Amino acid sequence: MDNKRMSWQRKIRRIPLFIGAFLLVIFAKPQFSGILIGMILIFLGEGIRIWAAGHLQKNEILTVTGPYAFVKNPLYIGSIFIAAGFCILADNIYFMAAAFFMFCFHYIPYKKKVEGDRLRKIFGDRFDDYDEKVPEYLPRWTPYSNEDVSWQFNRFIENSEEGILLIVLAGMILILSRPYWNLIF
């Protein structure tokens, strides 16, 4: 499949995500307890994503440091925490159920196949060993690797995590300000 077609398919798959985020903001009714719990989950999730993005070197080396030493999918784990945090922040259990359903039954199986095939093709036996020994979502107690590679800001930027961070911050501002929209508009 050529790059233009893959890029187009990626953009199309994001449409439901943007529609869901828009609807979540529109129907948000933040409550104090939900704000507290939601913000904790969002910050935890974004912290995990920042930690992972600063270690990830896509298609260059098999990343087995930072959170990748303990779990194969730290970016997804961070995203799960962020999604749950936003749904709790917005006080909308229905969106949380829909988000988890889509994540578990569409996104995870799709990404596992595509990424697993790609990593196996690039890294061969090394990936097979990592794939066998490192769990998908529940972290191992000991690191897979003792490689000493530190978090790097340039990797954080190369992995476009600053864009995710800005979207997360904008989403929090929109949901937290939602009760005051009637006063403004």
Rounded Cα distance, 114 and 151, in Å: 26
22 occurs within a structural domain? no
62 occurs within a structural domain? yes
Domain span including residue 33: 27-177
**Tens place of pLDDT per residue across the chain (185 aa):** 556 665 676 667 778 888 888 999 999 999 998 999 999 999 999 999 999 999 998 888 999 999 999 999 999 999 999 999 999 999 999 999 998 998 888 888 888 888 888 899 999 999 999 999 999 889 999 999 888 888 989 999 988 899 999 999 999 999 999 888 776 66
Nearest to 80 by CA among 123, 111, 58: 111
Other Cβ atoms closer than 10 A to 175: 24
Tell me the pTM.
0.88
182 occurs within a structural domain? no
CB 30 within 8 A of CB 178: yes
How many structural domains are present in the chain? 1
Nearest to 108 by CA among 141, 147, 75, 152: 75
